[in-house]
Every structure is written in structure tokens, then in C-alpha cells.
Structure 1
Amino acid sequence: MKQLLIALVFLTTAFNYAQDTGSIVGKLIDKEYNNEPLAFANILIKGTTNGTTSDMDGLYSFNNLEPGEYTLIYSFVGYETQQVPLTVISGKVTEANIVMGASAAALDEIVITTTSRKDSEVALLLDQREAVEIKESIGSIELAKLGVSDAATATTKISGVSSSEASGDVYVRGLGDRYLYTTLNGMTIPSDNVDKKNIDLALFPTRIVQSISISKNFAPENSADQSSGSININSRSLVGNNEIKLGLQSGFNTNAIGQSKFKRTANRDDISFGFYSSNLSTKDAITEQSWDTESTSLPIDYRYTLTAGTKIGDNFKILFNGSQSSKFEYNEGTFQQFNRNLEDVKYTDATNYINTISTTGLVDMAYKINDDHDLRAVSLFVNKMTDQVFEAGRNREGFVFEEVNDEDAYSQYVKDQNTKQTRLWVNQIMGDHQLGTKNHITWGLGYNRMDADEPNRIRNEVNIKKPTDTESESIELANQGGTQQRKSAQEIEDSELNARIKDELKIFEKENESTLMVAFGANYRYKTRDFQSTVYGVDEVGAPGQVVPPSLDELGAVFTQDNFDSGVLSLTESLPDSYNGELNSASGFFSANYAVNKFNFNLGARYQKDEIIVDYNVGNAPGGREGSVTKEYSNIYPVFNVKYALNEKNNFRIAASKTITLPEFKEIAPFGYVSPTNQVVVGNIDLEASDVYNFDVKWELFPSNKELISATGFYKHIKNPINKTLDRGSSGYFTFENTSDKAEVFGLELEANMDIIASTDDNGYNLDFGFNFTKMWHNQDLKTIYNQDGSIANTYTYNGKDEIGLEGASDYIVNASLNFSTNWERTFNANISGNYASDKIYALGSAPDSQTVTSTLYNNEIIEKGFAVLNATLSQELSDNININFKALNILNPNIKRTQDVYTSSTGVESTQVTRSYKNGTTISLGININF
């Protein structure tokens, strides 16, 4: 609890929110013709010459209005002229829907609402229509309607985006983690996982999210380390003058609730309120802490949230959002691993018990110096604690090649207990300054800190001797390698400083003719990582079978101080594995935007210099335990965008750019991370960056202010693509390689967000449908490297395959949602949404070391099979201040499966084997939200 208080105090060091201009949007309705849209009516801001007309759908808008009071005059020949007073609020959209008729409309026929600019579905669509670059956004209002609980799920509601239920990765246009770039309020944030480039977006509950945007083509002001796109999360700010909200939710996972004794790790007693703390060292835990799991009888999910904010004086705003959630997950299925077509590991009862507790605190402070100068500061704290128990082989069918040579006599059992704690601090200070009418400067400074630890991982591997006519079943400690019984600790500490500045200059603006804007600025990022892993292994001295645990649930009975003192057991303390990483990235950029008639031309370039240094001290590293590797990249990254507005409803866009994909620390450092299933992933010191050339063509149609139809074609040419692959030879581990000289991706995206029924009647209802579809064609030529004498030095071809698709890329991605809402006094909302991503390559295959056995001792690629996800949510207002909601997630509960084609020498044919399969279960919850 002390740590939580310290974190909350730390959060209060931040301040401020950058204000914005406001907008007025709305729709005119013809009372004389069955409430049809009224086109070509005149709308004028009283006392100005600023006016517009309604379009064919009765829609109109005024953008970039200074905050204040306005009166709009609505007129149409033969109809009563109306004057409506409106308030424009900085950073928000005022929506005024007006009923026009031959006589004055009643007051209750004028509907005026004000929403946060970044929340409004209408405003986000208007922003997308007017933007130069290709981007798509989704706001918190839409996310609430969809019942989305976190940012990772939110991104899948955007066309061309999918999330792997198996890995948790977000894929944009079929390209995964390493091709993405994630920012918070436009500034970089660290990953919470040594295996990932981007932070787990599930750490961002949608209650702290104002909107999420995905830019699918490169902008010079952003890092060039993106190839499929960049994801930006805009955090919440205070809405209005005061805000107090309380949210409570409870539910269960259908898989987890069925476990009467849900297993927890032996670390459970060291976890309080989702925070891990122990005074016992990992080494002392060998004899002073249990090796056996504990359990929970009622695995119920919960979430509670408090939001509170106020405006102090005329210029200062503050908002706090704090929350904590706990969820339980259970899955059981098959795990197999093949090495050179030989079965290496097989479990038919691989089970996972997972409890995740996430604690989040956000402080947003704003100070408006004057109408031209604003400051904002954001401080975000996230603590994610995951307690996981993996076990397999309890059914006496487990097989591990290195331990069990006689399956008739022995089977193997494994139990892996791991507590992972991630603590993330993000601190940002930002400024927004309008200097005169033509100069706009924005800047930001950030400091991030991330600690991702596995403080006490516990692993047991035992051989179960099967009963015979003369002997009963017995348990023996596995002993091939000396660390099958072990406790280990892993620590990751990331620190990062980042800064940005951008100056936008309006060179000239000729009314109704042309405009020229230029922008220039700089970015800087300095990131360090300290990584260390220490293992303490226990080995049986002498012949196996001298210490016999009573049962699989009482393995800890033999790990006593007496057995160490008597010399029956010995402690092995290996040298710690460690590496230190350093990233220096400095850049400057320039862009010019010229608008003339219906055209908008944007040309820019970014000069970026990246230096990556990794110093390592790792066992089994190539060339020796200690080493250092440096990667330097210095390039100019050009970008070109053209937008042609055919009319008010149609846009045509072309975009071209060059970007880079940098290798990550973990992809370079030669440390081998062992998963609970005993799969090993090792970095590659010879890995190099990929250069990517991007080209997009997009057509957009906006039938109304809430509707969109679009089609996009895209092409990517990737030089030296990076792929996760099975290591060549007999090691049986995964690594990262530049498997090809080039890869190509062609894609087509289709999107439609349409109103099926749109009612203005107080007793009416609305029905809208969202759909997006992506089809991709992707291929890479697997390369072979030759020695000077013509012999093969290395090859990435295997099983006669010299070309293959890209790792992580699905041929088809489909997202769809159906939304129903009412106009009743107490609004009711219902949504059903689904996602499907087809098969993708989980890891590429590999060839054997010897070219004389290429036809038999190879590894085929591992495929993650496609599956569909279906979610539903219902919400009902009970009063002006109380709302209840019901959610059912992963309703179809699909079987998540990976497969691999394996060659059997006895038959001479390949057969498809399931290497991993499980179901995650359906999550059902009921919540209540109260506004005070």
C-alpha cells in the first residue's frame, strides 16, 4: 500500500492541458416534407460574413472557431428564419440540429449538444476528411458504445487492424509488432515487455483514453521507425468544469469459474493489492519458500474506477482517474514441439492459470496562460501484475526427448510458476503557442521509466515412473542439465528521455485560391535498458531416485535444508546473464503543404540518425560470453502526399514514403528466454535494420457527417525483412533473421460505416453498421549465402521452398459491428462486433546444417490458424446519473491453434500436426457507472 501511495504522490507532479478551437456542426430537417433533410439552406454567423449552406443531407459545419458566444441565422426561401444562440467551447464540438418550417419551429425541436472534440464521432470523421495524411480514428464515445475495455481491442475496430488472441500483438495491414510505432499524446512510450517493441495496449483502459488514431502512412514529424503505421493514444482531459464518476464491474471467465481450485503461484502471499513485494531473495527462497502452488476457490473478475476533476479559477483544470481491475483466465490444450521433424516435446494437457491485476492512475493538469499560450502535463502510472501457473503432463502422457527415452516406462511432468510485475511511469509536459496569426509552435518533453521484473520464477521438471506388476508409481527429479529444478529472477529497467518541437508557418493564404504552410522541427530520444537474469538450480547428487517427492502437488517436500546439508541435493548458481542497451535517435524534419483549388500537396523529409549499442555478458553467446554490438543508421526519409477533393463528399489520396524498421534490443542481445513450455527465443547479433518503401492510393466518400465508404490500395517493398524463425541446425530454438533480400506486400482495404436507420423522433431508434475488409498478397524470396568457393555458408531455404509469406501477415482481415440505439429519455444501446483474421505464419522454418540431409532434417514453418472473435454489449440509462452495462466477450470461444507440417521418414509423407491449441473461454460481466 505504501508503494501505491508513493506512486500517487509521484503522479501529482504533472500539470496542464492544451486548449483548442471549437466547431459547430449540425443537420437541418425539413418539417414540411416528412422531416427529410433540408438542402441548400443558408447558415450565417450573425455579425460576420462567415456563412455556409447545408449539403444534400442537410449537413453543415463551421470549424476553427474561437471559444465564445455565437448566434447562427438559419434561412430558406419560404421558411421561417431562425436565430439560435450557441456556445463554442475550446476543444469541443457543438452540434445543433434544427427543424425548419413555414412557421417557427417549437423550441423543443432544436437539439443542441456539446461534446469533446476528440470524443465526437462526427468531429473525428470531419478531421479524417480534412487531414492530408491517411489516418483513421475512434473516440471514447464510440468505444463505450462498442463495449471496448482497452486500447488493444479498440484498434481492431479500425480497418486493416487485427489483434492476435494468441500473442496479444496488434497487426496493422498484416505487419506486426516490429513494424509499428506507438505514442501517447504524440510522444514515445516504452514497451512493458522485453519481447516487444511496443507497449501492450491492453494496459490502457478506455476510461483513460480520449481517442485512438492510426496513421497508415509516414508523417515527417514522427519517427521513421514505422512501416505499417503509427498508433497514437490521446489521453483523457477534464470535460466541463467538474466531473466525479464512479464505475463498478464484476464478472467471470467461463473457463476460470469452472475451476473450483484455481491455482496461484507460491508468490501469492507476497502480492498485496496487485503489488509484489518480498524481503526474501531468490536464492534464500530455495529453502525458505514453498515450491508448491496455492489456490483460489472463487476466481471472480472485478474492476472499479474513480474519475474526479475540477476547474480552478478561469485558467486551471485538473483531472484524476484511478482504477484497478483483476481478471482470471484458464486454458487447457495441446503443446508439441518438433525439431528437424523429430518430436521433441509433447503434452496433451498443457494448462495455464493466469490472474492479472492492473492498477492505473492518470493525472492531467492544464493551465491556460492566455488565448494564445497553453500548457499541459500528463503523468500516467501503470502497475500490471500477472501471476501465472503453467503445468503439463499430469495425465501421465507427457514426453520430452532429452528426459524420456522409454515412453513405456516414464512420462514427464512440468510446472512453471511465474509472477511478472510491470511498473510504468510516463511523464509529459507539452506547450502550444500561437505567435501572431501565422506562426504556431508546439513542443513536448518526456521522461519515462519502466521496470519489468520476474522476481521469483519457480520451475520443476520431474519424470514419472509408471507402475509395473512389481512396483508402484514413483516420481523422480529430472536431471538432464542440472537446472530442471530452479528458481530464477529477471530484472529489466528502461529509462527514456524524449523531446519534440514543431513550428508551423503560414507563408500565405489567398481566400478561395491557395494556401502555403511549412513546418519544421526536431525530435530527440535517448533510451537505456539494463537487463539481468539469474538462475539458481537444484540438482540431485548421484544416481536419480534418492529423493522422491510424495506427489506432484508436494514437490517442495524434498527441497529442504536437511537434504542440502546431507549432500543429497546441491545448489547450482550460474553466472548472471546480462546486457545493457542504449538507443540514441536524433532527427530533424521539414514539410510544406500547398493547397490550391481542390488539390492539397504535401512534401516533406526527415533526417534521422539512430545508434543502437548492446553490451552483453551471456552464456552460450557466439564468439564468447562477453561482447558488444553497435548498429548505426543515418538516412533521409522522404514523404509525399496528395489529396484531391472531388467535391465536399469525395476525397482521393496518394501517399509515398520511405521508412525503416530498427532491430530491438532483445532481437540483438544473444540472451535466450525460456517460455513456460520450454521454447527458447534467442537474439541475433548479426541482425540488421530493414528499409521499407511505401505507396498508398485511397478514395473516400462521406455520404453524411457520420458515414464513410472508402477503398485503399497499398504496396510495400521491404529490403532485408526481419522474421522470427526456427534456428538452423539441431538447437531447436527461435531467433530473428534477415531471411530475405526483399519482401513485397500488396493490399486492398474496403471500409463502410453506414446508417441503416437514423431517426429524429423522440420515440425512435437508430441502427448503423460498420464493416471493413482487408485482402493482402505478401511474399519474400528466401536467400542463400555462398562462400567464395561456391559452397553454402548459410541458407534460409528449406524443404525445397525458396519463397514464403511474411511472418505475422494474414491474407484476410474482417471487422464488423452492428449498433442499435434509442432516442428515448433513457437511452438504450446494444452492439455486436466481430473480427476474423485468416492464417498467419507464427515462425518461419529452417534447413539443417548439413546439405546432405535437406530432404529430411528440416523444420517447416509454424502456422497460427485463423479464427473469429464475437463480442456483445448492452447498456441502459436508469437515470440522468446512473447507467448499467452488460458485456459478453469472446462469445464463440474459438479454438486457437498452431500447426506445423511434419515429415515422417517411415511413411515418406508430411502430415499436419497441432503444435499448440487451447480455448480462452467467454468473459461475462455486469457493471454500473454513477455520475455525481
Structure 2
Amino acid sequence: MNIQLFSQWFKTALLLAIVFYSFSLSAKAQSDDLGTITGKVVDAESGEPIIGANVSISGTTKGAASDIDGVYRISGIQPGSHSITVSYISYTKKNITDIQVESGEVTQLNVSLQPETIGLGEVTVTAQASTDSEAGLLSIQRKAVPMQDGLSSEYLGKTGDGNVASAMKRVTGVTLLNGKDVFIRGLGNRYSNVQLNGAPVPSTSPTKKEAPVDLINSGSVENIVVQKTFTPDQSGEFSGGSVQITSKEFPEEKNIGFSYSTSYNSVSTFENTIGYRGSPMDFLGFDNGKRTLPAVIKNSRVTSENEKELANALHGDWLINSNQQAIPSQKFELSYADQLNEANLPIGIVSNFSYKYDRSYQPGREYRVIQSYNSDADQNVLNADYMRREGKEDATLSGMLNVFLKPNSKTKIGLKNLYSNSLENSTQLIIGDYVNYPRNTRQTVQDFNRRAIFSSSGILERYFDSFLQSQLSVNISYSRAKQDRPDRRTTQYNLTPSDTYNIYFDDGGNTHFFSDQLDNNYTAKVDYELQPLRSLGLKAGFSGLLKDRDFNARRLEYQNFSGAYPNDRKDEPANVALDPVLIENDQLDLVETTQARDSYQGEQTLLAGYLSANMDFIENLTLEAGARVEQSIQKVKIRNDGESQAIANVDKTDILPAVNATYSASDKINFRGAFSMTLARPEFREISDFRFQDFVGSQIVYGNPDLNRTLIHNYDIRFESYPNPGEIFAISAFYKKFFNPIELFYRFTERTEVQYKNADQANLYGIEVEGRRNVTEQLQLVVNASYILSETRSKEEDRFRTANFERPMYGQSPYSFNAGTFYTIPQWNMELSANYNTFGERIVTVGMGRHPDDEYEQPFHKVDLGVKYRPGQFTIKADVENLLDQEVVYKQGDVITNKYAPGVTYNVGISYNF
């Protein structure tokens, strides 16, 4: 989606919001003196919504029936104290007294009904006016079939996390790698799936399965659920867990909000950063065409005939400047939410628009690559030893529009739309030694990396109370993910004996690199549930996924084949040293080094069907058993000499059984157990023979068309207790066995090259503990921790390729720990929070045979503090991140391979709701 389409989309959304807002003004003026009671009616034992329950206000004719979500809403109520009666066939009637209704306010009242028991009459209770959404999510978790953990929108508001990625690290057993890669139970992207509103989120990365959860604003999220045991209605690509992100649908009351926030970083803010002259649209996250691949070679390769024309058409500004300041970040957010026409055809509208801009600076980042370890001398020989300075410009533009309606109380239809465009525009200056001997090199990198995602889901839910209490759910989705890296430019200069830097051509360090990737996902999912017996529920469904990817890359390189390059230009800046005039005069060559494998087209067709039964024939024991069948066909093609050539064709059908059992010792204590078989498929990039290198001296990564899928056996047990609403204590143990796990191995070459390959097998054992306690009405404590051991065994043929024949799994942390405390001061309308997060060292690169060890990211201890103050309709927030000011460190043996200081970040924001 380009900026023109997004602009039109946003204008339409804004116009809709204005129309609905104007439409509701007159109705609001008439109802300002009256109040509303709304809430949800659920089964006290299962936690499922009750559809069609009667809710009436005593002494009046006012009432409502709960709809397909179990939600009821009664408007036009006189202020004061009221009582309501809630009833439904085969459930015990409930009377609730002392419900306080305020003028012009919405009173929230959720109700749970007990299944009818002989001898049990009506129940009368006193109302609790407020509802804790954290407690509601825990109630769903307590009654859910699979083992799961989650975050409510209320909890996200407490922590202040700006996007889903930063919030995820607060879930038990979840850690974050590179600020956006979600690792569940120590397992990386390939072993998990991420869904937005029931549809898979496509990747914006050409190198791995990376769902861009950092692009999803936490303010638009209703809840995040991390399902940790497999059920047949989920994708079979499931081992670590399934992240299920749900955006909001029907708001409880109208809200129009505006917020502004800014931040200061101790390392970079107000420092002179490095950068280059880009396009006027960069601050919005788009290129205006300045970096576009020249038309002269769009459909042809570089030749001696078009070389000169190409040189003049390329973006030729190579200068790195340091005259810009790293200004404080700026973020603006506008939201509108309302529920209209409640009495006849309820329409729910939720919309959100946000923009964030940040300019930062990393003054010194150590980077080293080990070539080999000399055991006799007990020392490491380095392939590269660099110091990197980096300036970055980040811009994110996001919008969301959800529109839902309920034609009747048993039907819900909706459309959920999300768009986000994010830019990371970086400038790097890299200085250091390369390839084992004092050859000091100076490199520059100018990299415009744009990522965008668009997702649209059409949803239909229909309840049939006249036929075995059955329910039909349909989800049809289209999602699109794009990554664009136009004209990534690099230069390389080497230090001479006379202490001057001369441009150097032999290592291929002076380049233009163009790449773009477009993923399209078309999904359809149908689920049907029915309950032929009170103790037996059946669920069946099918789904289809059509996925296509188009990845294109072009490599252009400056070379001095003739040796005619003028000596007086060697020490000049790149604008002079790579002047197109030199190519016109045949003193410099511009050649194309693109190979056929550098571009590919991927297609995947995934068809699935499942059947499961939920049984509770034995008192207090619930058992779900079923299986899923998946057929996946993956194809990867390249263009070779103008012909399409298939380099990978994977066609597999798998049967994936799953059993989940829960024994409820009481309404507050559960014992759970689960077994399942799941899998992990290789990505398009991994089964294509594409190669990529960040800069001279860094790793070159290759794909492998011969990769096999990974099969996984999962075993889980769990004890959980829910002492009071909003509280939990749980302990889990799990074991996973992997067959043919996919890992990165070094190739037998002189250069630093790695390739995806299957290891023989792997085992993973773990324990998780979670606790949430309301110490007082004002103080809440949240703690969770995990301890995980894993072991990967390489194949015998790879014994000498790896530093360790047996080692932990790639990216797996042996432990993680999260702790948070939240304190409210009602009389001051203030909330205080403190959060701590850490993890154990984890492998980021598998070492090769001649290395001293694998490369590990070292533990990082992050402490955040926050305060929120609400004077009237304003909310003022302030927080500090990384209070300990710890550095990020990677080590391989005793060598620090990567090190930098993220600094302490101070955030301040203000919002207004009306």
C-alpha cells in the first residue's frame, strides 16, 4: 500500500468518524441526565458467554437480553440505586441489589450464573459496581481448554508498553530478541505462530519468520493471549506457543482521545548524529522515488552499453554528515470509539491513528568476528574487529478501523482493518581491522529499510439456539506485508602507510543493493461448534491459506578492472571517488553481480481440517481430544536466463493429534495435562539459495533447498490456583522432543558463511511459575519465571562443522524472570508502577569447528519505573526505561563480539479523552 492509498484510507476513516460523531451528538444531549447499565453474562463453571439471558430492572419495564457475546445493555435509567434480575433456562436465577447508576455514566456489571441444581433457589447478592478486566481474562484462562497466559488491555495500560512486542516480554516464559522477535519458552519465531484477529500475520523479513508485532500499537488491543498447548483448531506450526492478538470491537461508551508523548535518551538525544541526505518524504516513512532502481535496468542487466547511463541515473550522494541533532522522539495518537444505534441495530466503531518519529545515535558499537581459535597459543584470530557508529531515523505511521454490527442478538458481523508503515533509515560508519592482519578499513552503509503491513478480516458469528446450541464462526482475511530496501549503498576505504584512507575495490565493498519483498496471505477459516449432550461438545472446521511471496534483489558493484583508476581520486570522498565521469571515461567499472538465486518467487497452499470433542462425563474432569490434518505445498522458483526454474518443491501431509485434560479440584484449583504432535516448516528464504551480507566482514547467510520440516512431540502438566478475582498462582512443567530441528551451521569456506541445515534431534525441558497477588486494594504484585534446559545434537556429518556437537538450542534462554508492582493512590488519581525483566544467556550464532564456542547474548537486566496521573479528563504519564543503564553484550568464548549501550530512556506523555 503506497502513501496515496493510505491517505485515502485515512481520510475515509476520519470522515466516517466525524459522521458518526455528529450523528450521536443529538442522542447524547437527550440522554445526559440518564444512566446505563451494561455487562456480560457468563456460565460460572465454564466461563462461556450465555446467549439470550434475560436481564431486567426491578420495578420497571426496562430490560435486555444478552447477545452473541453474552453482552447486555440497558439505557435510559434514572440515576439512583437499582436492582436487577438475571435469568436463563436451566440456570439459577440471580437478583443483584444496590446497583448505583450515575447521571450520564455507564455502570459496568458482569454476571455469572450457576447451572441449576436441585434444591437451590434464587440467589441474591450485592452489586460490585466496577469490573476488573484483568480478573475477567484470568477467569477465561481458568476455564479454557488449553494452557494459556495473557495480557488484558488494562494491564497494558498499567505497564505503558507502546507496542505488542514490548508488552510480550511480560508473559510467563516469553522473551524478546532484537526488540521484536518473540521467543516463547525459549523457542524462536519458527516454533510459534502469531495471529491478529484470528488470521496469521505475514512476515516483513526476507530472512526469517518474523511477525512484525512491534508495528501493532498496544492501544488498539483488547487482549493478548499466549496459548501454550496445542488444540486442533490452531495451526499445526505450534510448539512454543500461539500468540493471539485481538483488537477491540464494541466499546462500552463513546470515547474520543488525543495523546502526545516524547522521550529523551541518555546516549543519543541532543548529540550530533550521523546521517545522509535522503528524500523529503523520509520523515513519514516513505521514499519519494529518489532511491528507485533506475528504469534503464528495470528489465535488463547492466551491460557495457547501458553502464554509463546507469551511473548517472543512480542516487549519487554518498556524503555522510554529522550536522543533525538526535532530537527527542515525537508521538501523536488520535482515537475514536463509540457504539451507536444500541436499541435497534448496534454498531460498534473503534478507530485509531498514530504517528511516531525518532532520530537516535549509537556512538560506539563493538563488532568482532572470530575466524579461528589457536589452542596452542590460547588466542583467537579475528576475521573482523570493528567499531561502528550509527545514526538512525525511525518513523511509524499506523491506523486501525474496526466496524461491527449485530443484526440481531444472535448474529455478529464485522470488519477489522489495520495498517502500519515503519521506516528504519540508518547510516553507519564502520572502522577497524579486517581479515587477520592490520588492514584498517573504513566502511559506510546508507540503508533505507521500510516495512509495511496491512490486514483486513471479515468476521461472521452466528448462534443457533434451536439446534443443539450450535455456533458458526467464519473468518475471511487478507493480509499484505512489504519490505522495501531501495538503494542500500556501501563504500570501503583502506588505511595506507601514509595514514590516509584510499578507496578499495578488491573486496566488493562499494555497492548499490536493491531489494523488495511482497507477501500476500489469503485465508479462510470456518469453525462450527455444537453440544449434542450437556457433557459433550463437538467442534469441527476447515481452513485454507494461499500465500505468495515475490522477492527481488539487484547487486551493483564498482570495480577497477582496467587498473586505470586515477591515483589522485583514491583518497577523495565517495562523491568524488565514485563520480559517474570516471565510468564515462572508462576509468571505473560499474558491474552487476546479481545471481539468479538472488531473487525468487514462493508459493504455499495450506489446507487443513480438524475434529475435536470436549467431554466432561466424569465429575470435575474435562477432556478435549481431537486431531488436525494439514497438507502443505511449498514451491520456490528462480529466474535463470529468462526461464523459470524450480529449486524447491515440498509437498507433505501430516496428522497432528492433541489431548488436553483439566481436573478441577474446586472452582479455584485446576490440574492440567496435555500431549500433542506439531511441526515447524522452513520458510521460503530458508529453502532458497539466496545469500545476504550486511557489510564486508560480516556473516554471509545462505539458504538450503534440501531442508526438511521439523516434527515435535509436546508434553505438558500444570497446577493453577485462583485464590481471588484477579489473582493466580500457577506452576507448569513441559518437555518437547524435536526431530530434524532447523539450525544455522557454518560452511566449509574461508569466508564467514552460514547456512540453514537440519540437526539430528533436540530436547527441551522446562518449568514455569507465575503469581499475581492483590496485596491490598491499592497494591498488586506480578511475578513470573521460567527455567529451561535444552540440548541439540548435530548430525554426525556435521560433527566438525560446529564448535559444540551437543549444545543448547539456538535462541533459547535457560531462564527468564519478570516482576512488576502496581500501586494506586485513589485520592490523587495516581498509579505507580515498577517492572523488572531479565533472561539467561542465549545462542545467537552457532559456532563452527575452529571457533572457541558458540556466540551468546549475555543476560540483560531491565528496570522500568512509571507514574500515571489523571486530573479530570487528562492523563499525564511519565516513565523511565533501562534505569540500570546496562549494556547489551554478545560473547563468543572470551571475546566480546558485539557490545553497545542502549542508554536510559525517559518518556513523558499527556492524553485527553472527551
TM superposition score normalised by structure 2: 0.83
In the alignment, structure 1 segments of 5+ residues that lack a partner are 27-43, 49-61, 75-80, 98-108, 468-472, 510-514, 759-765, 786-793, 848-856, 902-911
Tell me the equivalent position of 1:58.
Answer: none
- Offset of 1:894 from its aligned partner? 1.9
Aligned residue among 205, 208, 213 for 1:201: 213
Aligned residue among 829, 834, 837 for 1:835: 837
**3-state SS of paired residue (1:290):** coil
**Does 562-571 or 487-496 show the bigger shift?**
562-571
Verify the 8 A CA contact 1:498 1:524 in the aligned structure 2.
Answer: yes
Percent identity, aligned pairs only?
A: 20
Tell me the equivalent position of 2:809.
Answer: 806
Tell me the equivalent position of 2:145.
Answer: 132
Q: Note the alpha carbon deviations across 1:481-531, whole angstroms, 9 max, x for none.
A: 4x321112101011110010000001112xxxxx21000000110100011
Q: Note the alpha carbon deviations across 1:771-826, whole angstroms, 9 max, x for none.
A: 111111111222214xxxxxxxx546645x431111111111111111111222x4
| Alpha-carbon distance in 1 for matches of 2:129, 2:570 | 73
In the alignment, structure 2 segments of 5+ residues that lack a partner are 21-37, 45-53, 59-66, 75-81, 87-94, 113-125, 295-309, 374-379
Tell me the equivalent position of 2:682.
Answer: 663
Task: Give the counterpart letter for 1:755 in structure 2.
Answer: N
Tell me the equivalent position of 1:899.
Answer: 891
Verify the 8 A CA contact 1:783 1:797 in the aligned structure 2.
Answer: no
Tell me the equivalent position of 1:820.
Answer: 823
| Alpha-carbon distance in 1 for matches of 2:6, 2:728 | 45
Tell me the equivalent position of 1:601.
Answer: 623
| Alpha-carbon distance in 1 for matches of 2:698, 2:906 | 32
CA distance 1:543–1:632, shift in 2 (3 Å): same
Q: Note the alpha carbon deviations across 1:706-754, whole angstroms, 9 max, x for none.
A: 11001000000111111123224434212211122x2111100011111
Task: Give the counterpart letter for 1:179 in structure 2.
Answer: Y
Aligned residue among 587, 590, 594 for 1:568: 587
- Offset of 1:893 from its aligned partner? 2.7
Tell me the equivalent position of 2:61.
Answer: none
CA distance 1:24–1:633, shift in 2 (3 Å): closer
CA distance 1:160–1:689, shift in 2 (3 Å): same
Asked whether 1:684 is paired with 2:704, we answer yes
Q: Note the alpha carbon deviations across 1:74-130, whole angstroms, 9 max, x for none.
A: 9xxxxxx9823589xxx9962699xxxxxxxxxxx9751357xxxx11110110111
Tell me the equivalent position of 1:853.
Answer: none
| Alpha-carbon distance in 2 for matches of 1:709, 1:380 | 35
CA distance 1:768–1:548, shift in 2 (3 Å): farther
CA distance 1:693–1:636, shift in 2 (3 Å): same
Aligned residue among 289, 293, 314 for 2:320: 293
Task: Give the counterpart letter for 2:458 in structure 1.
Answer: I
- Offset of 1:569 from its aligned partner? 1.5
- Offset of 1:7 from its aligned partner? 4.2
- Offset of 1:137 from its aligned partner? 1.1
Asked whether 1:439 is paired with 2:470, we answer yes
Aligned residue among 544, 550, 553 for 1:533: 553
Asked whether 1:231 is paired with 2:231, we answer no
**3-state SS of paired residue (2:158):** helix
Alignment RMSD: 3.1
Asked whether 1:875 is paired with 2:913, we answer no
Tell me the equivalent position of 2:284.
Answer: 273
Task: Give the counterpart letter for 1:615 in structure 2.
Answer: K
**Does 915-924 or 644-653 show the bigger shift?**
915-924
Verify the 8 A CA contact 2:481 2:519 in the aligned structure 1.
Answer: yes
Verify the 8 A CA contact 2:231 2:659 in the aligned structure 1.
Answer: no
Task: Give the counterpart letter for 2:180 in structure 1.
Answer: G
Verify the 8 A CA contact 1:477 1:545 in the aligned structure 2.
Answer: no
**Does 643-652 or 723-732 show the bigger shift?**
723-732
Tell me the equivalent position of 2:299.
Answer: none
Aligned residue among 214, 222, 231 for 1:219: 231
**3-state SS of paired residue (1:112):** coil
Asked whether 1:170 is paired with 2:182, we answer yes
Q: Note the alpha carbon deviations across 1:659-696, whole angstroms, 9 max, x for none.
A: 00000011111111112463221111111110000010
- Offset of 1:432 from its aligned partner? 0.5
Q: Note the alpha carbon deviations across 1:21-77, whole angstroms, 9 max, x for none.
A: 814899xxxxxxxxxxxxxxxxx98899xxxxxxxxxxxxx9985514593589xxx
Tell me the equivalent position of 2:503.
Answer: 477
Verify the 8 A CA contact 2:68 2:463 in the aligned structure 1.
Answer: no
| Alpha-carbon distance in 1 for matches of 2:402, 2:392 | 32
Asked whether 1:154 is paired with 2:167, we answer yes
Correspondence 1:470-869 to 2 at 5 A: 473-481=499-507, 483-509=508-534, 515-543=535-563, 546-547=566-567, 554-575=573-594, 577-596=598-617, 597-617=619-639, 627-676=646-695, 678-740=698-760, 742-758=761-777, 766-785=778-797, 794-795=798-799, 798=802, 801-824=804-827, 826-847=828-849, 857=850, 860-869=853-862
CA distance 1:349–1:66, shift in 2 (3 Å): closer
**3-state SS of paired residue (2:207):** coil
Verify the 8 A CA contact 2:357 2:393 in the aligned structure 1.
Answer: yes
Q: Note the alpha carbon deviations across 1:258-291, whole angstroms, 9 max, x for none.
A: 522x222342445252222215644557655301
- Offset of 1:558 from its aligned partner? 2.2
Verify the 8 A CA contact 1:339 1:859 in the aligned structure 2.
Answer: no
**3-state SS of paired residue (1:330):** strand
| Alpha-carbon distance in 2 for matches of 1:333, 1:424 | 30
CA distance 1:245–1:571, shift in 2 (3 Å): same
| Alpha-carbon distance in 2 for matches of 1:362, 1:45 | 33
- Offset of 1:914 from its aligned partner? 1.2
- Offset of 1:4 from its aligned partner? 3.7
CA distance 1:238–1:400, shift in 2 (3 Å): same
Correspondence 1:387-406 to 2 at 5 A: 387-393=425-431, 398-401=432-435, 405=437
Tell me the equivalent position of 2:479.
Answer: 448
| Alpha-carbon distance in 1 for matches of 2:707, 2:15 | 41
CA distance 1:556–1:653, shift in 2 (3 Å): same
Verify the 8 A CA contact 2:326 2:359 in the aligned structure 1.
Answer: no
CA distance 1:526–1:657, shift in 2 (3 Å): same
Verify the 8 A CA contact 1:14 1:429 in the aligned structure 2.
Answer: no
| Alpha-carbon distance in 2 for matches of 1:716, 1:173 | 10
**3-state SS of paired residue (2:609):** strand
Tell me the equivalent position of 1:927.
Answer: 909
| Alpha-carbon distance in 2 for matches of 1:746, 1:93 | 43
| Alpha-carbon distance in 1 for matches of 2:433, 2:564 | 18
- Offset of 1:534 from its aligned partner? 0.5
| Alpha-carbon distance in 2 for matches of 1:449, 1:13 | 25
Aligned residue among 325, 334, 349 for 2:356: 325
Asked whether 1:457 is paired with 2:488, we answer yes
**3-state SS of paired residue (1:275):** coil
- Offset of 1:544 from its aligned partner? 8.5
CA distance 1:151–1:693, shift in 2 (3 Å): same
Verify the 8 A CA contact 1:340 1:730 in the aligned structure 2.
Answer: no
Aligned residue among 458, 468, 483 for 1:429: 458
- Offset of 1:304 from its aligned partner? 0.3
Tell me the equivalent position of 2:91.
Answer: none
- Offset of 1:551 from its aligned partner? 6.7
Asked whether 1:339 is paired with 2:364, we answer no
**3-state SS of paired residue (1:195):** coil
**3-state SS of paired residue (2:616):** strand
| Alpha-carbon distance in 2 for matches of 1:653, 1:278 | 57
| Alpha-carbon distance in 2 for matches of 1:374, 1:719 | 43
Q: How many residues align?
A: 810
| Alpha-carbon distance in 2 for matches of 1:21, 1:618 | 62
Aligned residue among 83, 91, 111 for 2:97: 83
CA distance 1:887–1:25, shift in 2 (3 Å): farther
| Alpha-carbon distance in 1 for matches of 2:270, 2:387 | 16
| Alpha-carbon distance in 2 for matches of 1:588, 1:21 | 35
| Alpha-carbon distance in 1 for matches of 2:100, 2:620 | 31
| Alpha-carbon distance in 2 for matches of 1:212, 1:47 | 34
Verify the 8 A CA contact 1:863 1:900 in the aligned structure 2.
Answer: yes
**3-state SS of paired residue (1:713):** strand
Asked whether 1:375 is paired with 2:367, we answer no
CA distance 1:357–1:46, shift in 2 (3 Å): closer
**3-state SS of paired residue (1:257):** coil
- Offset of 1:614 from its aligned partner? 0.8
**3-state SS of paired residue (1:590):** strand
